[in-house]
Amino acid sequence: MSSQVRLRLLPSDRCLYDEPIQVKVSHLRSRQVVTIKASSTDEKGVLFSSSATYRADGNGDIDLVRDASLSGSYVGVEPMGLLRTLKPNTLNTLFIKEKALEPHMVKFSVHDEEDQILAEVTNERLLMADGVSRVSVKEGSFHGVLFTPPGTGPFPAVLDLCTVMSERRAALLANKGFVVLTLSVFQEKLGNLKMLHLDPLEEAIIFLLQQPKVGSKRISIISNSKSADVALSLAAFVPGVEAVVWISGCSANTALPLFYKKRQILPALMFDTTKVIPTQSGAVIGKYAMHDPLKEENRASVVPIEQANAHFLFVAPEDDLCWDSYTYMMEMMERLQHLGKTNFESVCYPKAGHFLEPPYGPFCPSSLNMFLKKPVLWGGESRTHAAAEVDMWKKIQEFLKSHVSCDPVQTDAKL
């Protein structure tokens, strides 16, 4: 390793997961060509890696904010390209980084044309900011994880409703000043489930509103994929929901019949496995397998969001290959507009795929689908999808802050 070449991550080697960094290399030879590599091992032990070749300027410097990659995992100027293009050594693998207490560790290194390491540094990408608390919760019929910001509050409350349990998004929202309870819509093993119940989720809402630092009288819900239609149902049927962020979801209740107060409130919209399209990668396209919720025989599964006393943010990727979330979003907006309602806003992202997450994680083109039990293509063009995640993350925070207010008097009474 060269003692002169310097690799720096600015403003620091240590940052929050959703913060960009500036990668700079100095003390190279004038116009020297080097390869910058990144690697990270996920929570399942899978190695992800990326690389890009750069030419130093006349002073021997490279700045990824300014300079273009000549070849490798991406080409052109892209400051966070090495993180976006981290790829697994096996096909159809999702990067698993869901435990909030453990940072996302990424090793960056600079290599000469003989692949000798000239410099290296490790980026520690934290999910939890200093002072944020994490507590596992098991109350009544639900279990999840509660994240609370530092300080006395009051803070708005958010229910992070997951299709697959993850702490990542909840921890990152707690860093922004929200009390967040994250839990899966599946409170039992999916293979054992014949139906879904809203009652445990209602218990979770009540629990969240009773937290000492919570100052809002009602909660927001953030959701994606299958959990997005459950979030719509909570807003339509259960008291206490002020706002819903719906990401890459359906307008109907999918996969399992939905129950509340010991009665079925919505049947399930199902899918036709014969309409799944195979591809050469081994992953399938599921977009055209879902039954049409607007056909007469399926209309009973459509969630009656028009009866919800809540604000909605609909987020739809236009290249979703899992299901047709853009069409579902347009249907819901038209239905609300027809009734004269204005309690919604929307954003759609061309060339973005189904799997929209907080920014600066590896792009996932395909991975196992829990319902089809086989790998599926999620869609999206990697670079455009990554830009959509950055924009979406800002819009989500703005929406949540504008639609859930805090009542200091209520908080004082709790304390």
Residue 242 lies in a domain: yes
Neighbours of 358 (CB within 10 A): 19
Residue pair 181/135 in contact (Cβ under 8 Å)? The answer is no
> Do 211 and 90 have their domain in common?
no
Q: Is residue 1 part of a domain?
A: no
Provide the number of structural domains found in the chain: 2
Location of structure tokens 């116009």: 31
Same-domain pairing of 111 and 176: no
Kindly report each contact of residues 237-240 with a partner whose C-beta sits within 8 Å and lies 24 or more positions away, as own/partner.
Answer: 237/198, 237/265, 238/198, 238/201, 238/202, 238/205, 240/202, 240/205, 240/206, 240/209
Per the DSSP assignment, residues forming a β-bridge with 192 are none
Q: Out of 98, 126, 154, pick the residue that ends a domain.
A: 126
Catalytic residue among 18, 320, 324, 385: 320
CATH number of the domain that residue 31 is part of: 2.60.40.2240
147 in the same domain as 50: no
Do both 186 and 327 map to the same domain?
A: yes
**Residue pLDDT, tens place only, 192-208:** 789 999 999 999 999 99
**CATH number of the domain within which 307 lies:** 3.40.50.1820
Please tell me which residue in 225, 248, 251, 382 is annotated as part of the active site.
225
Q: Does the annotation mark 354 as catalytic?
A: yes
Give the predicted TM-score (pTM) of the model. Answer: 0.94
Distance CA 415, CA 397 (A): 27
For residue 155, the one-letter residue type is F
**Which residue range is the domain that position 50 belongs to?**
6-126
pLDDT tens digits for range 32-87: 999 999 999 999 999 999 999 999 999 999 999 999 999 999 999 999 999 999 99
What would the pLDDT profile of 134-146 be if each residue is shown by its tens digit?
Answer: 999 999 999 999 9
223 catalytic residue (yes or no): no
Residues 312-339 have a mean pLDDT of: 97
- Radius of gyration (C-alpha) of the chain in whole angstroms: 23
Q: 181 near 155, Cβ under 8 Å?
A: no
Residue 384 — left, alpha, or beta (φ > 0 → left; ψ -120 to 50 → alpha)?
Answer: alpha
- Among 104, 354, 385, 403, the active-site one is 354
- Which tens digits make up the pLDDT trace of 177-186? 999 999 999 9
Q: Give the residue-averaged pLDDT of 366-393.
A: 94
Say yes or no: 188 and 96 in one domain.
no
pLDDT at residue 91, rounded to an integer: 87
175 and 53 housed in the same domain: no
Looking at residue 409, its pLDDT comes to: 41
225 is catalytic: yes
Same structural domain, 113 and 236:
no
- Distance, C-alpha 9 to centroid of its chain: 25
